[in-house]
Amino acid sequence: MSTLFDSYDLVGLTLANRIVMAPMTRARAPDTIPPEQMALYYAQRAGAGLIITESAQVSAQGRGYLCTPGIHTPEQIAGWRRTTDAVHRAGGRIFVQLWHVGRISHTSLHAGGAAPVAPVAVAAARTMVQALDGEGQPAQVPASQPVALDSAGIRAVIEDFRRAARNAMAAGFDGVEIHAGNGFLFEQFINGGLNTRGDAYGGAPIANRLRLLLETVDGVATDIGSKRVGVRVSPFARLGDLHAFEGEEATWLALAGALAQRGLAYVHASHLGTPAFEQSFRSAYCGTLILAGGFTAETAQQAVASGRADLVVFGRPFIANPDLVERLRHDWPLAQAGDEALYGGGTRGYTDYPAYSAYRPTATPAAQPLPA
Ligand SMILES: Cc1cc2nc3c(=O)[nH]c(=O)nc-3n(C[C@H](O)[C@H](O)[C@H](O)COP(=O)(O)O)c2cc1C
């Protein structure tokens, strides 16, 4: 029976255990360049079998929030290099999550106040992003009205992902994760309710709505090798004003089947809906499956032992417990992260959470003096 603490062969990359640190945006890159502190933050968490970084935008166009890092300029690549070096020195493995937010963005984040892009010119209702208000001050503002990508624009997006993946290799990452979940660009194309385009990238045919993601995956795999590529999906998360649509289960299962043929590192899924659908998805995608969302030590162990997942993601628990793997291994208590320092700010609530060993009274019971 497999346990969370067994090593795992991720198509040739050995992971020390089956615990994955979730991609988590922390918004601490005011100039979009990964700061020095980020290297410490990830190195502190290098006990994870695999770290998936926060999202990094593949282009200026793909940016949707203030203070998120990019991976499209030489300065950003150099910034990331500090992080990959620090994690590797600490014995960890690290993939970078690549994103393009599509319509979940605001004109204040783009040169000349340009509109964000999307499959169709429909704004995400009731969706806020962290951008600049009318006075140029950081604020939560409604996502702007986007423009529809034309075919040259679609080709440019694919090129941006390919370049970003090559940049990731130059920055020393072990691989990349293409973010196709949480209501961002790829999911906007996949969603049949939103994507009513009349060309080969939209409309009723499932293959049309999957085309942008699959062409991107194939392009990136050509450049860096399929076994360095993961894909994240969140089928029923309903984020970014995306809603249920006709044939959605068939759409996601078709994607799982298409990804299964591509020899990828993994598929990473959250919000798979019912246990029955999760099982169908697992059957359709026969490669390494990473599951995310609300796991505890116990449920994660069950997921790995039962074969429900190959690897299990922990998100929030990694924020306040840099040594999470050791705490789970020894059943040590977990610290809880508050909400106030999740996004933005400095070192507080970021790199100042101690390892458990730092405040345990003695290292081990055996080290305590024997009673007289
Ligand atoms: C502060 C924070 C930032 C997040 N940022 C991202 C992100 O950049 N990309 C992503 O795919 N998911 C993101 N997520 C979702 C997490 O990857 C994960 O799915 C979620 O936290 C559920 O796992 P948990 O219950 O173990 O925390 C974020 C979650 C949190 C709490």
Given a cut of 60, whether residue 368 has pLDDT beyond it is no
Average pLDDT, integer, range 2-7: 96
**Distance between CA atoms of residues 39 and 69, nearest Å:** 13
Determine the residue of 24, 53, 353 to mutate for testing ligand 1's pocket, defined as the one with the most ligand atoms within 8 A of the Cβ atom.
Answer: 24
Give the domain range for residue 344.
8-367
155 found inside a domain: yes
The total number of residues written for the chain in this structure:
372
pLDDT value at residue 358: 80
Question: Is the full-model pTM beyond 0.85?
Answer: yes
Please determine, for residue 27, whether its predicted confidence score (pLDDT) is greater than 80.
Answer: yes
Ligand 1 proximity of 342 Cβ (cutoff 6 Å): yes
Q: Which atom of ligand 1 is nearest to the CA of 343?
A: 1
For residues 80-113, b (16+ Cβ closer than 10 Å) or e, as one string? bbbbbebbbeeebbbbbbbbbbbbbbbbbbbeee
Q: Looking at the predicted structure, is the pLDDT value of residue 372 above 50?
A: no
Q: Is residue 252 part of a domain?
A: yes
Beta-bridge partners for 148: 118
Structure tokens at 80: 């990331």
- Quick check: CB of 83 below 6 Å from ligand 1? no
- Residue 1, class by beta-carbon neighbours within 10 Å (0-12 exposed, 13-18 middle, 19+ buried)? exposed
DSSP-derived 3-state class of residue 184: coil
Helix H or strand E encompassing 44: helix 36-44
From the CB of 25, is ligand 1 less than 6 Å away?
yes
Our count of domains for the chain comes to 1
Residue 37 in contact with residue 347, Cβ under 8 Å?
yes
Q: What is the DSSP string of 314-360?
A: E-HHHHH-TTHHHHHHHTPPPP---STTSSSSSSTTTT-PPPGGGTS
CB 187 near ligand 1, within 6 Å: no
Does residue 366 have a pLDDT over 50? no
Quick check: is 179 in a domain?
A: yes
Question: Could you tell me if the CB of 288 is within 6 A of ligand 1?
Answer: no
pLDDT at 167: 99
The answer to whether residue 35 is domain-embedded is yes
Alpha-carbon span 100 to 226, nearest angstrom: 20
Identify the pLDDT of residue 1: 84
Exposure string over 7-27, b if 16+ CB within 10 A, otherwise e = ebebeebebbbbbbbbbbbbb
Cα of 25 from ligand 1 centre, angstroms: 7
Per the prediction, the chain carries an average pLDDT of 96
Q: 5 CA distance to ligand 1 centroid (A)?
A: 22
Is the CB–ligand 1 distance for residue 270 below 6 Å? yes
- Termini Cα distance of the chain: 44
Q: Report the pLDDT averaged over residues 233-254.
A: 98
Whether residue 372 lies inside any domain: the answer is no
CA 18/CA 4 separation, integer angstroms = 5
For the cut 60, the answer to whether the pLDDT of residue 369 exceeds it is no
- Please report whether residue 180 resides in a domain: yes
Residue 23 near residue 54 (C-beta atoms within 8 A): yes
pLDDT score, position 365? 44
Q: Is 232 in the pocket of ligand 1 (CB under 6 A)?
A: yes
In a domain, 1, yes or no: no
* Dist. CA 324 → ligand 1 center (Å): 16
User: Residue 61 belongs to a domain with what CATH number?
Assistant: 3.20.20.70
The pLDDT value given to residue 360: 63
The pLDDT, as a whole number, for residue 15 is: 98
Q: Which has more pLDDT, 369 or 106?
A: 106
- How large is the average pLDDT for residues 21-44? 98
Q: Is ligand 1 within 6 A of the CB of residue 293?
A: yes
Give residue-wise pLDDT tens across range 117-171: 999 999 999 999 999 999 999 999 999 999 999 999 999 999 999 999 999 999 9
pLDDT of residue 142: 98
Q: Are 94 and 126 in contact (CB under 8 A)?
A: no
Nearest alpha carbon to residue 13 among 173, 167, 161, 164: 173
275-284 vs 248-260: helix crossing angle, rounded to 10: 30
According to the model, what pLDDT value does residue 361 have?
Answer: 55
Residue 2 lies in a domain: no
Q: What percentage of the chain exceeds 90 in pLDDT?
A: 95
CB of 57 shorter than 6 A to ligand 1: no
Dihedral sign, Cα of residue 77, residue 82, residue 88, residue 91:
negative
Specify the pLDDT at position 357.
84
Residue type, 333: P
Residue 320 reports pLDDT greater than 60: yes
Are β-strands 19-21 and 229-233 bridged in parallel, bridged antiparallel, or unpaired?
Answer: unpaired
- Whether residue 53 has its Cβ less than 6 Å from ligand 1: no
Q: Which amino acid is at 183?
A: G
Given a contact cutoff of 8 angstroms between Cβ atoms, the answer to whether 291 and 303 are in contact is yes
- For the cut 80, the answer to whether the pLDDT of residue 217 exceeds it is yes
**Average of per-residue pLDDT across 315-320:** 98
pLDDT tens profile 69-121: 999 999 999 999 999 999 999 999 999 999 999 999 999 999 999 999 999 99
Minimal-distance CA residue to ligand 1 atom 15: 24
Q: What is the pLDDT confidence band of residue 231, given thresholds at 50, 70 and 90?
A: very high
Strand duo 50-57 + 128-132: pairing:
unpaired
pLDDT for residue 304: 98
